[in-house]
Homo-oligomer: A and B are copies of this chain.
Amino acid sequence: MKDFVFHNPTKIVFGKDKVLEVGKEIKSAGYNKVLLAYGQGSIKNTGTYDKVVTSLSKENIQYVELSGIRPNPVFSKVLEGIEICKKEGVGAILAVGGGSVVDSVKAIAGGVFFDGDFWQVFQRKARVEKALPIFVVLTLSATGSEMNPSTVVTNEDTREKFYFTSTAVYPRVSILDPVLQFTLPNYQTSAGASDIIAHIFELYFCGEEETELQDEFSEGILRTVISFTPTLIKNPDDYHARAQVILSALFALNGVNGIGREPGDWSSHMLEHSLSGIHPEIAHGAGLAIIFPAWLKYMMPYAEKKITRFSQKIWGIDNPEAGIQRLKEWFISIGLETSFKGFGVKEEEIPVLAEMSMRMSPLGSLKTLDAKDVETIFFYCF
């Protein structure tokens, strides 16, 4: 097991109707003007927007809006948000949405204090040291961004989907109100579940050894997601099942599951970022449901023991290949694709997908991937 530092300062407020407390949380932290950032308007249809602005108004918190943040969020929107924050002199930012909104807000919060070409931070040529305080009302549990220091954004000009990490962008407070997720389309719930599973996998299959308690936590989260997601597909407003999936997303990537083995592998995520950077119509989690089984198949010579353990602990079977197959069948059962064919991605695209992935080198810790490895994994996605 590796040495580690664990220090996660985010406050989590969980429960029914907790969205109504967002104004109080922002006020008690000392802020009275925020950027209110959200997506493409679904929060207005579901009533979440009204609840949020009612709570803000009750505490006399002013807000300016940034709307239209899309899935696989883009850098131009981040720049737009930075400009608004500077012009309006907001004291904090409130994200109301899922991972795309939270990630955009993290980038905006850091960008406000950054001089120069901000994309350099995503290219790892510069660092974010200071950020506006971030508050979150979460409407989709998947990315874990509500309690971690990372953000992923796509640059439309270069089609690069890159990330940065900074302790300055841990959300100050994240409100997890299961009721807000009752109205999610099944596809988003399913893609979210795939993302949660992928986060567990990146740390579980990273090659680090002597991590028994961490493996127990990983397997516990996997069993919980696998058990409760099908319930949500049938009954999206099942409070108990929703709560369990929300907690699973939270603990998959808030650092607890990563102690002693961070940073993890993450090559599958990088491959998926290439995919959804080029095909933004593919949700991140949906892409991972295709790529992770392919990566596991390719990694069999390097991780047979751990894949066998996974098969035993999660599916109750001893054969590791069968364990991967069961995972694919489970993805299909919740409505996800497990082949590129389902999205019309063509084999001719493999070279450009591989080239884009290699830009994020070095890739992987279980095995460092070269271009040929990456091409083969993409080939396994068909």
A228 to B1, CA, bound (A): 15
Q: Tell which of B7, B15, B212, B223 touches A12, judged by Cβ atoms closer than 8 Å.
A: B7
A269 to B123, CA, bound (A): 53
Q: Distance in Å from the Cβ of A116 to the closest Cβ of chain B?
A: 28
**CB interface residues, A 52-103, toward B, < 8 Å:** none
Q: Is A210 an interface residue (CB 8 A)?
A: yes
Q: Is A362 an interface residue (CB 8 A)?
A: no
A3 contact set on B, CB distance < 8 A: 14-16, 18
Q: Is A327 an interface residue (CB 8 A)?
A: no
Q: Is A227 an interface residue (CB 8 A)?
A: yes
A2 contact set on B, CB distance < 8 A: 15
Q: Is A281 an interface residue (CB 8 A)?
A: no
Segment from A32-40, A242-250, A296-304 that makes contact with B: A242-250
Known contacts A14-B260, A240-B1, A240-B210: A220-B224 contact under CB 8 Å: no
Q: Distance in Å from the Cβ of A16 to the closest Cβ of chain B?
A: 7
Q: Tell which of B223, B243, B251 touches A1, judged by Cβ atoms closer than 8 Å.
A: B243
Q: Are A216 and B223 in contact (CB under 8 A)?
A: yes
Q: How does the 8 Å CB contact mask read for A190-216 relative to B, with 1 for contact and 0 for none?
A: 000000000000000000001011101
Q: Distance in Å from the Cβ of A219 to the closest Cβ of chain B?
A: 7
A8 to B8, CA, bound (A): 7
**Would you give 21 A-B contacts (Cβ < 8 Å), ordered by A?**
A1-B240, A1-B243, A2-B15, A3-B15, A3-B16, A3-B18, A5-B12, A5-B13, A7-B9, A7-B10, A7-B11, A14-B260, A210-B244, A213-B220, A213-B244, A214-B247, A216-B220, A217-B217, A220-B220, A247-B259, A251-B256
Top 4 A-B pairs, shortest CB-CB distance: A3-B15, A216-B220, A7-B11, A6-B12
Given A219-B220, A256-B256, 10 extra CB contacts under 8 A: A1-B243, A2-B15, A5-B12, A14-B259, A212-B228, A213-B220, A213-B247, A216-B220, A216-B224, A251-B256
